[in-house]
Chain A
């Protein structure tokens, strides 16, 4: 086993998390700005800021890692020829776009910019589209690339909302607004998850190829595994929306604690999904060959 076989999926998981936080929590701010208390708003801004700051440090490292992976040894990571090959590859282009995206989000969230929308939206778009520029998502051209961007955009909102929602359940930070936020989140989530499911199934069909490949290929099995955890996550989300959130109306702290615990479970399951997704895009062979 090569060192890259371990590092690449791990870095990919980290990048997913940072991207989902930068884009998703950014979208959360845009959707809920008027409902959020000052502490929650400030927490969200810090989250986006930290994610995009770390996110903008990762791409240069990722470039060295890509060069190392292309050359196959650690020296290649610092070999100018391998770095230039990495830069000229689709992976390199994707890294540059990702870097620019994180910088724009950082610019958008920095207090000096007073929340101007354009750098933020452009940054979100660049971060999301960077994942569609190389790898399996290019298999069907523009259609699969667009599906990836929409799919990741929907996941981002969902994932990026977990931490702000979890923060809002602490103590009496949001008071009666907690119900409003959670209720409104449930409404947005229906649309976002709709996009997530439709694009996910379409991508699955394109990448896996057919029912037979779904059960016989490694890629198909990993895809099913991911779908299994995603279904659990959706189930928990649905339970929260229909059972837990309505109870928040009474402003009862115990329900807020239950919601927080439920979000903790969702975050853990999500982590498993991200690991599988990372393996699907870095290490597992597509059945269509």
Chain B
């Protein structure tokens, strides 16, 4: 009986394991921003110093990420088209990170980033913005 209770407990615990840390104080473009002009850089301001290890931009299609299964989500980042940024991992702890962006067109974009915080925890997040034009 106890073994069953433990099993049920562990299974019910699993979905809560994805609770995110939200270590960003600010980003520019802001999350969800709708822009008239394509940004030339991306600014990230953390609540406490962090090493920004990964910064990826994906251009999203209409049907991207619509029917992502749990199994797929475990191994795949994003369905969008990768925009080459040539970002090199920052090995310096800093609250402020500035990333130069290549020329981008109109469309919806998803930024996926990963960092290591001062305390050694992995920090990560997904931000979106849209370039709509005037």
Q: Answer yes or no: A289 CB below 8 A from chain B CBs.
A: yes
Q: Answer yes or no: B51 CB below 8 A from chain A CBs.
A: yes
Number of A-B contacts (CB under 8 A): 97
Q: Answer yes or no: A37 CB below 8 A from chain B CBs.
A: no
Q: Is the interface of B mostly helix, strand, loop or mixed?
A: mixed
What string of 1s and 0s marks CB contacts (under 8 Å) between A253-289 and chain B?
Answer: 0000000000011001001100110010011110001
Residues on B with beta carbons closer than 8 Å to the beta carbon of A211? none
Size of the chain B interface, CB-CB below 8 angstroms: 37
Check A85–B19 contact: CB distance below 8 A: no
Q: Answer yes or no: B40 CB below 8 A from chain A CBs.
A: no
Check B120–A94 contact: CB distance below 8 A: yes
Q: Answer yes or no: A58 CB below 8 A from chain B CBs.
A: no
Check A268–B77 contact: CB distance below 8 A: no
Known contacts: A265-B2, A272-B6. The answer to whether A6 contacts B120 by CB under 8 A is: no
Check A70–B18 contact: CB distance below 8 A: no
Q: Choose from B3, B9, B74, B121 the contact partner of A275 (Cβ within 8 Å).
A: B9
Q: Answer yes or no: A90 CB below 8 A from chain B CBs.
A: yes
Check B6–A279 contact: CB distance below 8 A: no
- Distance in angstroms between the alpha carbons of A93 and B122 in the assembled complex: 15
Check A74–B124 contact: CB distance below 8 A: no
- Distance in angstroms between the alpha carbons of A218 and B77 in the assembled complex: 26
Check A85–B120 contact: CB distance below 8 A: no
Check B53–A6 contact: CB distance below 8 A: no
- Distance in angstroms between the alpha carbons of A116 and B16 in the assembled complex: 44
* CB-contacts of B62-82 with A (<8 A): 70, 73-75, 77
Q: Answer yes or no: B43 CB below 8 A from chain A CBs.
A: no
Check B54–A134 contact: CB distance below 8 A: no
Check A275–B10 contact: CB distance below 8 A: yes
Q: Choose from B6, B10, B119 the contact partner of A138 (Cβ within 8 Å).
A: B119
A-B contact pairs, 29 of them (CB 8 A): A1-B17, A1-B70, A1-B74, A2-B73, A3-B75, A5-B17, A5-B18, A6-B14, A66-B122, A69-B122, A70-B114, A70-B122, A74-B75, A85-B51, A85-B89, A85-B91, A88-B91, A89-B116, A90-B119, A90-B120, A135-B120, A268-B6, A271-B6, A275-B10, A283-B18, A285-B19, A285-B21, A289-B23, A289-B47
**What 6 A-B pairs come out closest when comparing CB atoms?**
A134-B120, A90-B120, A91-B120, A268-B2, A3-B74, A1-B18
11 further interface pairs, Cβ-Cβ under 8 Å (given A72-B124, A268-B2, A268-B3): A4-B122, A70-B122, A72-B77, A91-B120, A91-B121, A92-B120, A265-B2, A272-B9, A276-B13, A282-B17, A285-B20
- A residues neighboring B (CB under 8 Å): 1-6, 9, 66, 69-74, 81-82, 85, 88-92, 94, 133-136, 138-139, 218, 264-265, 268, 271-272, 275-276, 279, 282-285, 289
